[in-house]
Amino acid sequence: MASNVDQARPDAAAGPAEPRRSRIGLFLPFVLLGLVVVLWSVAWFWIRGRAADEMDAWLAREAAAGRTWTCADRSITGYPFRLELRCGSLAFARADGRFTLGPLTAVVQVYQPRHGLLQVSGPFHVEQGDLVADATWKDLEASFHGASDGFTRASLVVDDVKGTIAAEGQPPTSFAGDHLEAHARPTPVRFASEGAVDVSLRLTRAVVPPLDALLASTDPLDLALDATIDRAAVLRTGQVARELETWRQAGGRLEIALLSLAKGERRLQASGKIGLDADHRPAGDFDVRAAGLEALVAQAMGQRIGAERGAMVGRLLGQLLSGGRRAPDAAAPPGDAALKPLPPLRLADGRLMLGPFPIPNVTVPALY
């Protein structure tokens, strides 16, 4: 009897059994993660659908305005964090011209929809009035930073560009360049009141055969431009002539802070303002500094007064610009020692004038 009691005591001493722990806490993070993935996937497909609808609506508005865009084999991908618009090719047409592009990819981040990136492949073909141009390149990238009232910055970078341009009935002119950069931003303070936009352009090692003949040099050309386009906010994507006329009537001007051209020993820097006159021709005044243009002046004047007298004028101009000294001024800033001021350069009444003298055989045509 006692032995039975003793055998029961260990069970009594053990007490009640501990409750079994739930394993829900182990799986809860994975459940929540799966729920987030599902919700985000639904949101992404909804955003993609909205983007496609907005694009279709914009294309319809453009078509109603006489501008037709064609995105071949259009697709929108980029899940989970981007929207990537892909076109097998892009074509644009309106009454005054048309162009075509190769494959195009436009990318925006879902969480940053106002920042867009664009990659475009050639070839590029454009027809504008009597002009026809074709171009290819190695890399082309563009970016756009939007804002609620417009944009904050836009950029374009192109490497190894080559192409031709021709007017109807004339042989094509070829061109090439190693690197091209263009940037634009709203001009601080002036954008809200005047619609002004700052632009910056850099072109390195460009080859343009007509310039080789004009400047008597086969050296590649480097170009830099820093300018402000006043009243740029009035410009849209309508016909070129109509947009330029709207800009002219609004008082639009191109204010050039720096235009720099360098082609071998021939260099030129200019600043000034240019607009459009009543006959739609460029008109304006420039302050110019130059170096190495004596041969060019001799060539131009030789067409008027003979080669021998033209060469003499070129030599006199060189001495005038250098102050009678052949050696550069040691006190001048580095890189600017050889640049000497020229008489003011003026575009007026379809003529290009250096001081009071018109440059022979140079006319300024109407742009539209």
Task: Give 204-260 pLDDT, tens digit per residue.
Answer: 999 999 888 777 789 999 999 999 999 999 998 888 999 999 999 999 999 999 999
> Same domain, yes or no, for 44 and 83?
yes
> Same domain, yes or no, for 216 and 92?
no
Write out the E strands in 104-240: 104-109, 112-120, 124-128, 131-136, 139-147, 150-167, 173-186, 197-206, 221-229
163 class by beta-carbon count within 10 Å (0-12 exposed, 13-18 middle, 19+ buried)? buried
Choice among 114-128, 246-260, 325-339 with the minimum mean pLDDT: 325-339
The one-character DSSP state at 20 is: P
Rounded to whole angstroms, how far apart are CA atoms 43 and 47?
6
Query: Does 65 fall in a domain?
Result: yes
Question: What is the reported pLDDT for 214?
Answer: 73
pLDDT surpasses 90 at 170: no
Query: Does 234 fall in a domain?
Result: yes
What is the average per-residue pLDDT within 112-141? 94
> Same domain, yes or no, for 217 and 359?
yes
Choice among 174-188, 289-303, 310-324, 337-351 with the minimum mean pLDDT: 310-324
Structural domains counted in the chain: 2
pLDDT surpasses 60 at 10: no
Query: Does 155 fall in a domain?
Result: yes
Rounded to whole angstroms, how far apart are CA atoms 107 and 245?
34
Query: Does 222 fall in a domain?
Result: yes
> Same domain, yes or no, for 287 and 193?
yes
> Same domain, yes or no, for 301 and 277?
yes
Rounded to whole angstroms, how far apart are CA atoms 67 and 69?
7
> Same domain, yes or no, for 154 and 200?
no
> Same domain, yes or no, for 73 and 219?
no
Query: Does 341 fall in a domain?
Result: yes
> Same domain, yes or no, for 263 and 342?
yes
Question: What is the reported pLDDT for 366?
Answer: 94
Choosing from 173, 204, 226, the residue where a domain stops is: 173
Domain extent, residue 247, equals: 187-368
Six token digits for residue 32: 């929540």
pLDDT surpasses 80 at 26: no
> Same domain, yes or no, for 157 and 50?
yes
Question: What is the reported pLDDT for 201?
Answer: 98
> Same domain, yes or no, for 148 and 222?
no
Query: Does 26 fall in a domain?
Result: no
Choosing from 121, 146, 173, the residue where a domain stops is: 173
pTM of the predicted model, to two decimals? 0.80
Task: Give 33-72 pLDDT, tens digit per residue.
Answer: 899 999 999 999 999 999 999 999 999 999 999 999 999 9
> Same domain, yes or no, for 61 and 169?
yes
Positive/negative CA dihedral, 203, 86, 37, 109: positive
Query: Does 21 fall in a domain?
Result: no
> Same domain, yes or no, for 350 and 226?
yes
pLDDT tier for residue 331 given thresholds of 50, 70 and 90: very low
Query: Does 32 fall in a domain?
Result: no
Task: Give 182-215 pLDDT, tens digit per residue.
Answer: 999 999 999 999 999 999 999 999 999 988 877 7
